[in-house]
Amino acid sequence: MLDSMNDNLDFYKWFDAVTKKLGHREISFRKIFKYLDTLPAPIIIVETGCLREIDNFLDGQSTLLFDKYTLSRGNNSKVYTVDINPKSAKICKEAVSENVEITTGDSVGYLNNLSNTFLKNKTQVSMFYLDSFDIDWRYPYPSAAHHLKELASINRILHKDTLVVVDDSPANGNLTRSEKESDSSWKVLTFPESPSPPPTIGGKGFLVHEFATHVGAELVFSHYQAAWNNFNN
């Protein structure tokens, strides 16, 4: 783990230079890296759905971000990524270093096989970043079901500190903004006669969130992306 951000200053200088390009993912990516800073190296990141367009930071560029971060941490830190689209895998290979292992194929089968390998060699994964199967916001179930299958493929190798992040998973709920101009925060809208339910996770991660809630996993953060740990508590 890092004693301070100064131990990873070169990465954060680069990251700060690109954050404005990340749009609504900026906050959660920063939270991801702050969390990984607390974990010991090697940092092992497994991603589903790789970078598919060079320099399109609004699309995330997650593979590039993770490549830069793991290179900065050293000590055999590494990124594994899988994508079903050969074209995306080819583009990704052009954008990242050899520290990223890129596989073309179905993510669920890939994660199952990778989990078997990691169990044998006792590799601990620092983070799974699940972002495959593009979502149809009018009918998110197929994408959400696929991401739940991904979680099922890796559940047996999750340790308490493994961060599981699902992209495109904004919070859903009845929210209201503060009436004070100086306060830009949002809060849950409640009615004395009929309290509103608490916000929940939507998008790709809504079924992962339901499973996480049932097994007592901890929601670490929720912005446009959602993250949990402590699945096998």
- pTM to 2 decimals? 0.89
Cα–Cα distance for residue pair 225/154, rounded to 1 Å: 19
Give the pLDDT score at 51: 95
Closest to 66 (Cα-Cα) out of 149, 6, 129: 129
Domains of the chain, residue spans: 5-229
What percentage of the chain has pLDDT greater than the value 70? 87
Give the pLDDT score at 216: 96
Phi, psi (5° rounding) for residue 79?
-120, 135
Fold of 5-229: Rossmann fold (3.40.50)
CB 219 within 8 A of CB 227: yes
- Banded pLDDT at 2 (limits 50, 70, 90): confident
CB atoms within 10 A of CB 123: 16
- Banded pLDDT at 58 (limits 50, 70, 90): confident
- Banded pLDDT at 122 (limits 50, 70, 90): very high
Give the pLDDT score at 200: 85
Q: How high does pLDDT run on average in the chain?
A: 90
172: pLDDT strictly greater than 90 = no
What percentage of the chain has pLDDT greater than the value 90? 80
Range of weakest confidence among 21-30, 60-69, 151-160, 177-186: 177-186
Give the pLDDT score at 199: 66
Using alpha carbons only, give the angle 57, 229, 112 rounded to the nearest 5 degrees.
80
Tell me: cis bond preceding 42? Omega within 30 of 0 counts. yes
Strand segments, DSSP code E, in 110-222 are 127-130, 163-166, 171-172, 175-177, 186-188, 200-201, 218-222
Give the pLDDT score at 168: 95
- Banded pLDDT at 57 (limits 50, 70, 90): confident
Cα–Cα distance for residue pair 147/199, rounded to 1 Å: 20
Give the pLDDT score at 30: 96
Average pLDDT over residues 59-88: 96
